[in-house]
C-alpha cells in the first residue's frame, strides 16, 4: 500500500488523468440508461424482417439521399417533434432509429420514448455500422 501512495505522490498528473477517465466512463454508464435499447445491425435486420419494425432515419434529407436502409422513413432530428403525429400509427411496432454514427439517433430515441413510444431501439454505430456489416443500402439519385 505504501508503494501505491508513493507512486501517486510522484505521478500526480498520471493519477489525475486516470481518475478523470474513470469518472468519464462512470458518467457515461450512468447517464445512458437507454443503453440497453441499443441494437446491432444484424439484430435490427431480424426485427425488420420478423417483427415488421419501422426504421426512422433522423439524418438530413441530403444525408438520407446519399444512402439509407431500405424502406426507412426520413424524419430529420430537428423536425422530429413536428412529425410525431406521422409516426403515431406505428406506435405498436418496434421502431429502429438510425443516423450516421448513432449519437443523433440516441437523442431521437429519448424523445420518442418521452412521447409514449415503447419499443424504440437505437441502431448502434448508425449507418456506418450498417454499411460496415455489408447490409443493403438504397441510394437516391
**Residues noted as catalytic:** 99
Place of cell 441530403: 62
Task: Say how far apart CA 100 and CA 118 lie, in whole Å.
Answer: 23
Task: Say how far apart CA 68 and CA 59 lie, in whole Å.
Answer: 10
Query: 74 has which bridge partners?
Result: 57
Task: Say how far apart CA 55 and CA 22 lie, in whole Å.
Answer: 35
Amino acid at each position: 500500500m505504501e508503494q501505491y501512495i508513493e507512486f501517486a505522490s510522484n505521478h500526480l498528473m498520471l493519477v489525475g488523468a486516470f481518475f478523470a477517465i474513470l469518472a468519464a466512463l462512470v458518467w457515461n454508464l450512468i447517464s445512458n440508461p437507454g443503453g440497453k435499447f441499443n441494437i446491432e445491425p444484424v439484430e435490427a435486420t431480424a426485427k425488420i424482417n420478423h417483427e415488421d419494425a419501422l426504421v426512422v432515419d433522423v439524418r438530413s434529407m441530403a444525408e438520407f439521399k446519399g444512402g439509407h436502409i431500405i424502406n426507412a422513413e426520413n424524419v430529420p432530428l430537428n423536425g422530429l417533434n413536428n412529425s410525431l403525429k406521422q409516426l403515431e400509427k406505428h406506435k405498436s411496432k418496434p421502431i429502429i432509429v438510425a443516423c450516421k454514427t448513432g449519437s443523433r439517433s440516441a437523442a431521437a430515441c429519448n424523445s420518442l420514448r418521452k412521447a409514449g413510444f415503447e419499443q424504440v431501439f437505437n441502431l448502434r454505430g448508425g449507418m456506418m455500422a450498417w454499411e460496415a456489416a455489408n447490409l443493403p443500402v438504397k441510394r437516391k439519385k
